[in-house]
Each structure stands twice: as C-alpha cells, then as structure tokens.
C-alpha cells in the first residue's frame, strides 16, 4: 500500500499538513488509487502537496491547483494545471468548471474563512462526479475567534454543514419534507479533527423506501415505548419536581419534555467541560 506520509516527506517542495491528516487520507482515498481521476486542491502554497498527491494517486490522476498567489503559476512547468483566483469569488468557480468540467476530489486548504469554505463547497458540489468527495481542511477555524476567523458563529462552516445533515435526513419519508438537490447528491458527511468530508453519492438518491419488515406483518410486537411499566426499576431523579413528571406524566406530552431536556442538559454540560 502506498504511504502518503512518505510522499509528503519526499516532496521536492515545501508543504504543510497537520500530522493527523495522513492516517485519515490514507483510509479515505484508498478507492481512488491508480484511477483516472481529477483532483483539485485549493490553496497550494509552494506546491509541495501537489507532488505528494501525484505520487500517491498515480500517473492516471490529473492534479489541479488553485491559488490566490500568481507565483503559483510557475508550478505548471512540473506538469500541474494551475488556476489563479479567489475561492470566495463565485465567478472564478463558474469559469473554472467551464474549463475543467466535472471533478472527483476537491480538497480545500485555502484561506479557511467561513465565506471561502462555504463558497467553495456551494459553487463546486454541482461539479462533483458521483462517487466523489469534497474534503475541507482546517475546520478547527469554525471554532477560532482570533486570526480573523471570528468564530464560533452561526455562519461557520461546521454550522453550515449541519443544514446539510438535515437535507440528508429528508430522504426519510417520516420527515414529510421535499428532498432537494443536496438530499439527492450527498450520501454522508464525516467529521474528523479539523477535516470535514462531504461524500457524494454513487448515483442520484431518492426518498428511502418504507421501513422494511421481514415477516410482512404489522404490529408483531407490543411496543412499550410510551408505557409506564411498574415492574421495571428506573433511576429516581434527585429533583422532586422532575421526578414527579417522570413518574406521573405521559411520555408523549410536552410536559414530559421538561424532564427529558433537563437530563440532556446535564449531558451537554459534560461535553462542554
């Protein structure tokens, strides 16, 4: 198996990646090795990563770089296609995809601001081939206040992707919500430390089929979810009021939510420690 870290170290030009990225990529990109793919990296600095990708994916892969710094054009002499432009400019992307057509992998390692990341994602998703992926690096910037990132914010990349999560779930008929372009194209989203991956589906997705039931029968089991079963011992809440709701109020009622949410709030506190 080809070793990405080895190619990073042996690249003839300077490159910079967080150390945890190599294992993630080694796994994530396996299925693209030696395939005829188009990979685009946004933000290429001195070009070191372009050499790494070429070695890793093999000769059949076309490696394209996008950079704001016009000096990057010099890297074309090494056989890479380089486009100079601003990733937060929708016109740049329109012209880019008019020239290049559809691509398989997009890696965003540009300026990492909310607008740059979100524009890149939204202007590109239409042009990702089925089975492809969008990889956004350095997503810790969604939680960084300093260095001009002004996060956490409602408009951070990570928060934006939670809206995509909702569109994925629209495929389930229980939601009774129309599926949109994103519901049809995004298979899944993966979150790592500082990397977010948008996995493009292998083909156009539709509403999920109704729940399958292997015996073709209805109500084969007695569903206990809303019952207050006296024989099952449950934890007594320390708070008398919450305990009263828990014991006496219907699990379907909004009042019962007071109990549920207060328990969840305690779990949220643990995550925020």
Ligand X SMILES: C[S@@+](CC[C@H](N)C(=O)[O-])C[C@H]1O[C@@H](n2cnc3c(N)ncnc32)[C@H](O)[C@@H]1O
Q: Is 114 in the site for ligand X (CB under 6 A)?
A: no
**Residue 67 binds ligand X (CB under 6 A):** yes
The structure tokens listed for 260 are 């549920």
Window 37-56: contact mask with ligand X (x via CB under 6 A): ----xxxxx--xx-------
- Strand 186-192 and strand 128-137: the pairing is unpaired
Residue 128, sorted as left (phi over 0), alpha (psi -120 to 50) or beta, turns out to be beta
Using the minimum distance from each CB to ligand X, give the nearer residue, 15 or 114: 15
Q: Is 69 in the site for ligand X (CB under 6 A)?
A: yes
Which stretch in 29-37, 82-90, 206-214, 234-242 sits in contact with ligand X by CB under 6 A? Answer: 82-90
Contacts of ligand X in 11-30 (CB under 6 A): 15-17
- 187: its two tokens: 């298979």
CA–CA separation, 155 and 149 (whole Å): 11
What whole-number distance in Å separates Cα of residue 61 and Cα of residue 63?
Answer: 6
How far apart are the C-alpha atoms of 66 and 106, rounded to whole Å?
A: 11
- Would you say 113 or 199 has its CB closer to ligand X? 113
Which lies closer to ligand X via its Cβ, residue 18 or residue 241?
A: 18
Least CB distance from residue 206 to ligand X, whole Å?
36
Note whether 162 binds ligand X by CB under 6 A: no
SS3 content of the chain, % helix, strand, coil (to 5): 40, 15, 40
Q: Footprint of ligand X on this chain (CB under 6 A)? A: 15-17, 41-45, 48-49, 66-69, 86-88, 109-111, 116
């Amino acid at each position: 198996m080809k070793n990405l870290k080895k190619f990073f170290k042996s690249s003839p030009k300077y490159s910079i990646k967080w150390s945890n990225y190599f294992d993630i990529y080694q796994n994530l990109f396996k299925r693209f090795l030696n395939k005829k793919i188009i990979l685009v990296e946004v933000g290429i600095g001195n070009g070191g990563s372009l050499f790494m990708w070429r070695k890793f994916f093999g000769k059949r892969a076309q490696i394209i770089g996008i950079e704001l710094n016009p000096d990057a054009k010099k890297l074309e002499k090494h056989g890479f296609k380089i486009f100079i432009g601003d990733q937060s400019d929708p016109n740049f992307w329109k012209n880019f995809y008019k020239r290049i057509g559809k691509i398989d992998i997009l890696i965003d390692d540009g300026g990492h601001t909310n607008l740059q990341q979100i524009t890149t994602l939204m202007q590109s998703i239409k042009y990702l081939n089925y089975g492809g992926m969008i990889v956004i690096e350095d997503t810790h910037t969604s939680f960084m206040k300093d260095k001009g990132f002004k996060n956490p914010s409602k408009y951070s990349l990570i928060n934006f992707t939670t809206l995509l999560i909702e569109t994925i779930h629209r495929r389930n008929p229980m939601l009774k919500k129309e599926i949109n372009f994103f519901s049809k194209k995004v298979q899944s989203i993966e979150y790592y430390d500082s990397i977010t991956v948008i996995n493009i589906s292998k083909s156009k997705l539709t509403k999920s089929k109704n729940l399958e039931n292997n015996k073709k029968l209805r109500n084969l089991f007695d569903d206990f979810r809303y019952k207050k079963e006296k024989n099952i011992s449950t934890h007594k809440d320390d708070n008398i009021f919450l305990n009263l709701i828990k014991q006496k109020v219907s699990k379907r009622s909004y009042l019962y939510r007071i109990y549920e949410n207060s328990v969840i709030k305690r779990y949220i506190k643990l995550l925020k420690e």
